[in-house]
Structure 1
Amino acid sequence: MKQIFRLLTIAFIGFLVISCEKDEDQAVINETATGKISSDKSTIVLNELTANDAVINFTWTRPTFNIAVVPSQQIEFGLKGDSFKKSATIDFSNDVTQGSATHAAVNAVMFNIGATPDVVNEVEARLKTSVGSAAFYSNVIAIKVTPYTPNPDLIYPKINVPGAYAGAAGYANWTPANSPNLFSPEKNDNYRGFIWISNATGDNGKYKFTINQDWPGNKGDDGTKTGKLAADGADIVPAAAGTFYMKVDWAANTYSSVLANFGVIGDATPTGWGSDTDFVYNPATKTYVINSIMLTSSGLFKFRANDDWALKIQPKNADEALVSGKAVQTYFNAENTVTGDHGYKVSDAGNYKIELDLHNSAYYKLTVTKL
């Protein structure tokens, strides 16, 4: 009995020792001095032409702590009045007390926090020092920032679609770094977009999917030809030549492709609502073009695929009057970005060139130019 009691006592003492050790490991980290930040400018105008040049310089003193730590450092940005609820950061090395940010870096941050391009935004910035999961913040400084509309090719995630078809489309055959891409407007694992394949016979139209513009991690058909992907899978063969709307769920390993050959139709066009005038793909510009068509100022025109109304390129939520030579963002109804069934119009009758840029699903672009 004494032996059992002795063993229980030893076990209890051991438990107390371990508990004390755990408490010691979880020592509370406290600031003994708060960080402080300043910048050399309070107003900046961002410029895409000088994207890689420094636009603002920050200087700061690092916070100090009651125990020795190796923290990480970031400058955190948020819109004024938002209390950094939606924020974005620029990283800096943990051993520096000053650093600059480029036009491109700040513009990317502005996009991520919801700043409005081409107007002055009231922005706040602070030093964020992280020690494990704990974050410590400096004073807040105010900056007036005028961002530019970011290049959608640079800010949205993408996968590549290399294949034997790509050279004819204005890219390079079987070259992930020089191939059409599918983008993720929602910045998740779902990618989509339009791919033009001029020849589907034999090996001419085959393709696969890659990521990071390289072959490691590539995916192809799993061999069942049922829309399932497999790592290093088989080349995918298109059903026909033409433009395909492709969707890929990278995480779920699924893909789909639907033929979508677009044309223009409407009572503003020479053939009215009776028939379409088809677009032609231009490999040099990687856009879909109607080089010359008469448009009246009294009617509307719309863009539809496959001489049918299921797939349409159209304005977001109202009929839109187009200005000659000015590109506008346009939308694809199958992506649930369109409200209603609206069309386009021009204010002056005449011959027009119509150009559809569908290379990036995050920003489809339409331009009409009077000839």
Structure 2
Amino acid sequence: MKNIFKILFATILGVFLSSCDRDDTLAVAELKSNPDIISSLSATSYVINDTNLSNTFETIVFKKANFGVNVETENQLELALAGTSFAKPINLGVATSDNYVKLTYQELNNALINLGLVPNTPADVEVRVKSNIKSGNTNPTYVYSSPISFKVTPFKANPDDLFPKIYMPGIWDEVALGGYAEWDPANSPALYSSKKNNVYAGFQYMAFKSASYPLDPDNGAFKFTPGASWDNDMGDDHTRTGKLTKDGEWNIKVADYPVANTFFIKVDLANMTYSLEKANMGIIGEATPNGWNSQVDLAYNPSTMKFEIASIALTGGKVFKFRNNDSWSIKIQPASGDVTPVSGKEVQVYNSAEGTVKDDPSFICPETGNYKIVLDLHNSGYYSMTITKL
């Protein structure tokens, strides 16, 4: 028993002394030199396109910060718009044990888009190394390298390539839906996970074939598949209460089948649930002809798979937003604060029902006139709107 206590005491003492040594080392650590980017860029200007996305952009090599003692550091590469003093930086990558960060054009492009840069428009940006001593401190002190600058033209990445998705094979009317095939997972509508967390959502216009498909208790309009095949397909659990199953599933029924309608669909694979809410999207607000009294409906365009208004008169300086089914259960609006869109320029929009909107912001019509409006709501990771003055 005495030996056991001796061993336990020695172990505790060793841990205590090790902790003391680490604390003592951190206590005497003093910055001698900042991190320093030592590699040179191969060019001063870069253009990103669909042919070089998978290629290596650059390998940024740096000298780690010197703290005068042997400490482990955490290092990351930051990107910011030139002239902003890194007020809103984007993390490009972490190199804890290595002294370099290797980037592809795709990784750089994603960061540029997240930074808010306009696709196909050159912009001046800067990168720098951000370092701190690895200590477990929740509020570490950072030191930085001098930045290096370059000009880059971002590429408009396809949002459908950026987010996980599940497929919806069903009794689709190929003509009405602009090309989707009947019961073909690889050629069917999809739902996207905006937070990459097994929750998938999106608005889908549904037009079905009805011939030879009566709505027997075990029949319906579509199923879900996690990939572009029938592996692990999911359907209703026979209760019609929004629960999914992979074993002996029923096809999922849709309200008013086979009449075509738009639905907001949400699938939670962690909890194996689904929901469908009929969606009749329209524009409303003081900028519109009906004011706040009633919405002006958008029409679905099968050839573009988007919701459109060919021409609507809007009043400059007045606000508008989009809503569903003449109610406020779903609103399509900016994320926070009123936004004035630029004619002909795509702007990201958000769905209030998904918890991505703060307060109750609106869009502001830039000037009085007739506008074409296009609303793309198929990918919950990137809903978008374009208004173009006619």
Could you state the TM-score of these two structures normalised by the residue count of structure 2? 0.65
Q: Distance in 1 between matches of 2:291 and 2:319?
A: 9
| Residue of structure 1 equivalent to 2:289 | 270
Conserved in 2, the CA contact under 8 Å of 1:111 and 1:150? no
Q: Distance in 2 between matches of 1:274 and 1:77?
A: 52
Deviation (angstroms), 1:200: 8.3
Deviation (angstroms), 1:166: 5.6
Q: Which moved more, 1:146-155 or 1:173-182?
A: 146-155
1:139-160 superposed Cα distances (whole Å, 9 cap, x missing partner): x9x8767473543211111111
Deviation (angstroms), 1:41: 2.8
Q: Distance in 1 between matches of 2:387 and 2:288?
A: 13
Q: Distance in 2 between matches of 1:323 and 1:56?
A: 32
Distance 1:59 1:319, change over 3 A: closer
Q: How many residues align?
A: 298
1:48 correspondence with 2:64: no
1:103 correspondence with 2:105: yes
| Residue of structure 1 equivalent to 2:206 | 197
2:191 pairs, out of 171, 174, 182, with 182
Q: Distance in 2 between matches of 1:42 and 1:249?
A: 46
Q: Distance in 1 between matches of 2:252 and 2:371?
A: 38
Paired amino acid for 2:163: Y
SS in 1 for 2:233: strand
| Residue of structure 1 equivalent to 2:388 | 369
1:266-295 superposed Cα distances (whole Å, 9 cap, x missing partner): 222222222221111111001001111111
Q: Distance in 2 between matches of 1:336 and 1:349?
A: 32
Deviation (angstroms), 1:43: 5.6
SS in 1 for 2:225: strand
- Give matches, 1:137-286, under 5 Å: 146=152, 148=154, 150-165=157-172, 167=174, 168-170=176-178, 171-199=180-208, 203=213, 206-231=221-246, 233-240=249-256, 241-286=260-305
Q: Distance in 2 between matches of 1:159 and 1:315?
A: 26
SS in 1 for 2:106: helix
Conserved in 1, the CA contact under 8 Å of 2:173 and 2:209? no
2:355 pairs, out of 328, 336, 352, with 336
Q: Distance in 2 between matches of 1:283 and 1:354?
A: 15
Q: Which moved more, 1:164-173 or 1:178-187?
A: 164-173
Q: Pick the structure with more strand per residue.
A: 1
| Residue of structure 2 equivalent to 1:356 | 375
Q: Distance in 1 between matches of 2:108 and 2:348?
A: 24
Distance 1:165 1:143, change over 3 A: farther
1:302-361 superposed Cα distances (whole Å, 9 cap, x missing partner): 211101122111122122222211110011111111112222222321211111001110
Deviation (angstroms), 1:87: 6.6
Q: Distance in 2 between matches of 1:155 and 1:77?
A: 22
Q: Distance in 1 between matches of 2:225 and 2:129?
A: 39
Q: Distance in 2 between matches of 1:229 and 1:337?
A: 26
Paired amino acid for 2:244: L
| Residue of structure 1 equivalent to 2:78 | 79
Conserved in 1, the CA contact under 8 Å of 2:332 and 2:349? yes
RMSD: 3.8
Paired amino acid for 1:54: N
- Give matches, 1:288-299, under 5 Å: 288-299=307-318
Paired amino acid for 1:78: L
Q: Distance in 2 between matches of 1:57 and 1:209?
A: 40
Q: Distance in 2 between matches of 1:40 and 1:299?
A: 48
